[in-house]
A and B are shown apart, each in its own frame.
Chain A
Amino acid sequence: MTLLLPFMLGAERYGLKLTEIQEVVEEVEPYYLPAAPPEVIAAVNVHGRILPVLDLALCLGFAPSPRGERMIVLSRPDFALVLAVHQIESMLTVDLEQATLSQSDAPEDCICGVVNWHGQMISLLDLDQLRKLVEEKCIVPGGDRVPACTDRR
């Protein structure tokens, strides 16, 4: 049996395994993070560490909707990030053995499986895919021309 933290994105329910989460933070002050892709909306101070905040709904192409006060801090060292979602629900115990693992026919959905919990579907968020997605968004083409500011008179 596995502990799962469900959260809402629009009308859809997603879940992350407890082992993938460091903590859930509440009412943290967001700070301006310049030069970042639009999905990375802010930076927060989590126990003295600067972590970027990813608007998960925006990143996965959902219609914009309000973000909750609470945010999820991921525990992976290669993906130190805070996820802003619409609403975090209370923890569930599910049997992941019964989960349907999805093939990666649509990797941009970032879903690695679906759990049926008393007749409700919970999509398991695929952090590997999400990391790739964020990585792609962070690549900005470098300049190969003289900047306009040398262009004068």
Chain B
Amino acid sequence: MDMAKYKVMFLTEAREHLQKMSAQLVAIEADPTNRNGIDALLREAHSIKGMAASMGYQQHAELSHHLEDRLDLFRQKGKISPTAIDYLLAGTDLLELLLEDIAAGREERSIEDFCQAKVEPQTLQTPRVASPPALETKLQIRLKLHEKVASPAARLLVILRQLSSFGKILQSEPSQEQILRAGPVRHLELLINTNLSAHEIKACLENYSEVARVEVEEPQAQQAKSVATGGATVRVGTDLLDRFISLTGELITNRYMLQSAAGDRDWDALQEGLGRLARLVKDLHHQVLQVRMMPIDSVTGRLPRLVRDLARKSGKEIHFELEGGGIELDRAILEELSDPLVHMIRNAIDHGIESEGTITLRAWRQRDQVMLQVADNGRGMNPAQLRRRALEKGLISPAQAESMRDYEALQLVCLPGFSTASQVTDTSGRGVGMDVVKAAVEKLGGVLHIDAALGRGTRFTLKLPLSVAIIKVLLVEVDKKQVALPITRVLQTIEVERRQIQISGKQRVFSHNEELLPLVSLRKILGLPIPQAAAFVSVVLTEVLGRKVGLVVDGFAGQKEVFVQKMPSPLEGLRGLGGGTILGDGSIVFILDIQGLIERRR
């Protein structure tokens, strides 16, 4: 049986239950006699216990059992005291740490200290958690013998034997048998479980004069890989699977129909069959997208707890509200959003709310986009102060500061290296953060807007596409080549007459709806040759850093719905490139992230 598969499922489900538990605990804190809440908590703890026990994770099962017992006592009493909430939250934290141990394949840490502690406030805030026994570590050793060494195989065997006296050799490439058989091998790569340090082993191996090079390190890359592949499971409702089956059936029928129509050279039937095929594929596409959709709730589950803990730490009284948690988004987008959301909420607690207030996380659909907003009713932001600060830090020029409108000044907080906190706090104000949030949103093809009113609060609004796998793009031509822009980043396409374009300093500008907007040439951005301007210029109106900009292209080639392929490693991180797509005729078109392209040219 493939236990690894069940392990991944267990980890995913257990994390979900734990998230629900801590959200529920925070809710009960405000309403301690909520009977239904206590019942729900008991159910969660019970599910976790059952799952852990059937997987054989003893500490995990024992701790959830312990929490379940406590909860049962509280149910009999009919209420949970605030100190008990702390205790139970600490318990769920410890359960999460145990999950980390299980995920990393380590031995589960001990829970004894925690279970023996009485429900006392001070000692329980942060349970002392025993670190995993640091006796043996896994080390990866790579060594190479000198070129000139005679009978290298024999020498490698000597080294292999020496190493086996240091600990247990888990894996060796080549193995002892292979060395015996294969003759002149000069490399050896192995994994060893040992209680010696990497340094000690290296020193010992370097003593051999035959050894040309030794590397001893902890095999980190492999671990990271196993964790990364561990997270990718999706749970799908059976009704959706049934629809897939029936769609597959219809596609098979359709195939036979097309085959026979082609055999009979019956053009009408062929036409009809193709029409049906188009409908089936569209339906399939829609259903597959459904599989990727997850409610926003799935990433906001831990936020109530986060707000509670941060509020307590900073001595503020903060009420957290969540609206529209059922709105669905592509899982790839949600995964990228989890950190930015945390950051915006931390900002609201640290910089927005002074001593008492409300933070609201709101989600809603707006046509084929999802809006996500983090709002607080705190002190707001002062544009004049932001301008001054950016100027002091040398992030903008005096001329820029002067001509900048208030709305633009608010977007300054997204510049790397900008932080308005006068002192660094534990949670934010290190000058990293909003730029990362903005980059994450734009990488997904979304936009970040910030608005604030002095004394009335700040709102961060994220405009996001529903899906990243299949998106709508505008195809544009540039130097006889095609590239694509996500339609979510296109405000409008216009033809501008050449005489409408003026030069202002080094910048070409044009007037649009009584606004003077800067023009940037896509050819210039991409380093392509720049031709003589024609009488009319094709311009894509887009937004860069919250400001409207006209992007000059050679021509428009229509809109298309495309499936985006990520670039393979090592090109995946290329700034400004949002992936590629293959069009119906087999040609490849790449999707550009204009903001990224412009920023990397600095």
Contact = CB atoms under 8 A, between A and B. Distances in A.
B592 A146 contact: no
Contacts of B589: 31
A35 B576 contact: yes
Given A34-B590, A48-B582, A50-B582, A144 B417 contact: yes
Nearest to A51: B568
Nearest to A136: B570
Contacts of B576: 34-35
B483 A32 contact: yes
Contacts of A80: 568-569
A140 interface: yes
Q: Is the interface of A mostly helix, strand, loop or mixed?
A: loop
Contact of B408 (A142, A149, A150): A150
Contacts of A31: 587-589
Task: Determine which residue in B507, B570, B577, B601 has the highest number of CB atoms from chain A within 10 A of its CB, and name it.
Answer: B570
Contacts of B416: 142, 144
Contacts of B396: 146
B570 A138 contact: yes
Task: Determine which residue in B416, B516, B571 has the highest number of CB atoms from chain A within 10 A of its CB, and name it.
Answer: B571
Contact of B545 (A35, A40, A138, A147): A147
A39 B416 CA distance: 30
Contacts of B482: 32
Nearest to A38: B527
Contact of A141 (B403, B545, B600): B600
Nearest to B570: A135
A81 interface: yes
Interface residues of A, number: 43
A79 B569 contact: yes
Contacts of B82: none
A146 B568 contact: no
Contacts of A141: 600, 602
B599 A142 contact: yes
B600 A50 contact: no
Task: Determine which residue in A49, A80, A141, A152 has the highest number of CB atoms from chain B within 10 A of its CB, and name it.
Answer: A152
Contacts of A45: 582, 586-588
Interface string A24-40: 00000101111110001
A34 B516 contact: no
B574 A149 contact: no
Contacts of A118: none
Task: Determine which residue in A51, A139, A145 has the highest number of CB atoms from chain B within 10 A of its CB, and name it.
Answer: A145
Contact of B518 (A36, A79, A149): A149
B575 interface: yes
A12 interface: no
Contacts of A50: 565, 567-568, 580-582, 588
Contact of B573 (A32, A138, A145): A138
B224 to A, nearest CB: 13
A101 interface: yes
Given A35-B576, A152-B504, A144 B183 contact: no
A15 to B, nearest CB: 19
A142 B395 contact: no
B598 interface: yes
A70 interface: no
Task: Determine which residue in A29, A134, A135, A147 has the highest number of CB atoms from chain B within 10 A of its CB, and name it.
Answer: A147
Interface string A119-149: 0000000000001001100111111111111
A5 interface: no
A134 B570 CA distance: 7
B526 interface: yes
Task: Determine which residue in B184, B509, B580 has the highest number of CB atoms from chain A within 10 A of its CB, and name it.
Answer: B580
A100 interface: yes
A143 B400 contact: no
Contacts of A85: none
Given A34-B526, A146-B400, A147-B544, 14 more contacts: A31-B588, A40-B571, A49-B565, A50-B565, A50-B580, A81-B568, A140-B575, A145-B395, A146-B415, A149-B549, A150-B408, A150-B544, A150-B545, A150-B547
11 contacts: A31-B587, A45-B588, A52-B568, A138-B571, A139-B573, A144-B415, A145-B395, A150-B408, A151-B397, A151-B507, A152-B403
